[in-house]
Amino acid sequence: MNQLLTIKCAEDILPKYRNTPIGLLLEFHNLHRPFAIYSEAQLLVGMCMDNRKHLHIPENFSYIIRSGGANLRYSEFKVSYAISVGKIKHIALIGHDNCGMVNLHSRKQEFIRGLVESAGWTAERAEEHFTNFAPMFEIGNAIEFVVSEAKRLRVKYPKITVAPLFYHVETNRLSIVEE
């Protein structure tokens, strides 16, 4: 069972993330640590495209890939680029509460109607689009998904530290997902 660890002080950060870019991310965002100046990214953040989330971090501190549900399956070349060319050694995967990619099927009619009304699609084309792509982007439980995605990336990139984190939209705070 995965548990969310609240970060209220630096000592709340798990030892394996302390004094790493992941620990710094938590300190900058939750604890308002004063910003340092960075000329190169220190980590890669994978987070949902949801517009309600904003990280409090210094400029140039991280690469950020936003995708529905923090699903990086279809962004692996970008991940590989950040690791190989950007010399990144740490990845923070950030899921969040009230994610639209959870129970995606329940939004099928809204999705179709939105494409018909806003994009000028036919209902048939919009439904086919949903049917073809929704299964690739449905994440189920947001906490479980971010943990499974972290595990998947650890296998693919064994020398990289990957941390599953969770963003609370209402409080604008990050927690560590303890696996």
Distance CA 10, CA 5 (A): 12
Cα–Cα separations (whole angstroms), residue 42 to 49, 59, 94: 21, 11, 16
Question: Would strands 161-168 and 3-6 be described as parallel, antiparallel, or unpaired?
Answer: unpaired
pTM across the whole model: 0.93
Q: pLDDT per residue over 98-129, tens digit each?
A: 888 988 899 999 999 999 999 999 999 999 99
Domains and CATH numbers, the chain: 3-100+146-178 (3.40.1050.10), 103-138 (no CATH)
Q: pLDDT per residue over 52-92, tens digit each?
A: 889 999 999 999 999 988 999 999 999 999 999 999 999 99
Distance CA 18, CA 12 (A): 9
105 is in an annotated binding site: no
48 is in an annotated binding site: no
Distance CA 83, CA 172 (A): 28
Distance CA 109, CA 115 (A): 10
